[in-house]
Structure 1
Amino acid sequence: MTGTADAPTRTRRSSDLSRYSAEAEDHPVAVTRRDGEALVLMSQREAEGRARLLDLAARLITVVLEDTGTLVERMSRAFPWMLALSPTDRETCAQDLIDAARASLSTNQPHLAVSELTSWKETATAVAAGLGRTDVEWLDEDSGLEPVERP
């Protein structure tokens, strides 16, 4: 993958690093050096997001290359927490994760896939804990906690 999405937005000389280091909180910054290869300065959050995206991509490649079972079955083996979801939600989850990973990789925006993965995993955790099994009664605070239709 090459192109402008991969390149840091700003380039600075190493002698200017302290003056511009705060820029790395917003986006990666290329730091050029006279005596060596350029370095890239980025936030820990950015680096961790990229690492999580690469981990997700590696798992998805493994899923795609397997030849036994449906996509949902293969995804459930790669992400065992998916088994807590209903069969319909597993199908939706599998497609959502693939779509988010494709979007993240093609736009160099790791947060798209990372947030999708986190959302589905947290949903599966909540379902496994028994949340969502009972009907919720919606109450209106303004009318003395009278039951109302779902907002």
Structure 2
Amino acid sequence: MVVVLATTSSQSGRTFQSSDLSRHAPRVFAAAEDHPVDVTRRDGEDLVLMTKREATAREQLLQFAAQLIAVAIDDRGTLAERMSNSYPWMLALSPSDRAECARNLVDAARASFSTGEAHLAIAELTSWKETATAIAAGLGDVRVDWFEYDKPVERP
């Protein structure tokens, strides 16, 4: 678990008093595993308790946001070209896939920023990057033989 100083309340709306950490630690930790929780203190600034996974996802989202801002303020080339400069792995994609990737990444980022759910943008970014990596490794050139079955399969 990671405790992070915060000045705003958590999006979850769950709040615990600092004394709950000693009196009801399992309950507080269980809540923090679901989503960040506020821990209020009388003698200091309130804290936010969250999992390491959540803290890492938020950090990745901030890094992604920084890249998107850099892309947004650059006025040279299309969105896909500017995104490819920030994410060179996109060059393994076809030009049409680069354009689709750029649009999908921006849409996922907007969804993450508006909902506070970092995993939306991070999953989209990871998915496209892994697709580009597979294509670069030659996995996109593999011939696939599909079997055709004319008979319906019975329900098990």
Aligned residue runs from structure 1 range 2-151, under 5 A: 7-17=11-21, 18-19=25-26, 20-138=28-146, 147-148=147-148
Normalised to the residue count of structure 2, the TM-score between the two structures is 0.84
SS at the partner of 1:37? coil
Q: CA deviation at 1:8?
A: 3.7
- Deviation track 1:87-125 (CA, whole Å, cap 9, x = no partner) reads 110000000000000010011010100000000000000
More strand by share: 1
Q: CA deviation at 1:15?
A: 1.0
The letter for the 1-side match of 2:88 is: P
SS at the partner of 2:63? helix
Q: CA RMSD in A?
A: 1.6
- Identity score, percent: 62
Q: What stretches of structure 1 of length at least 5 have no aligned partner?
A: 139-146
SS at the partner of 2:46? strand
Distance of 2:130 and 2:13 partners within structure 1 = 33
Equivalent residue pairs, number: 138
Distance of 1:83 and 1:49 partners within structure 2 = 25
> Does the 8 Å CA contact 1:53/1:110 hold for their aligned counterparts?
yes
Distance of 1:109 and 1:76 partners within structure 2 = 25
Greater than 6 Å deviation, 4+ residue runs: none
SS at the partner of 2:142? coil
Distance of 1:113 and 1:99 partners within structure 2 = 8
Greater RCO, 1 or 2 (C-alpha within 8 Å, sep 6+): 2
Q: What stretches of structure 2 of length at least 5 have no aligned partner?
A: 1-7, 150-156
- Deviation track 1:1-43 (CA, whole Å, cap 9, x = no partner) reads xx98x53431001111124122100010100111101000001
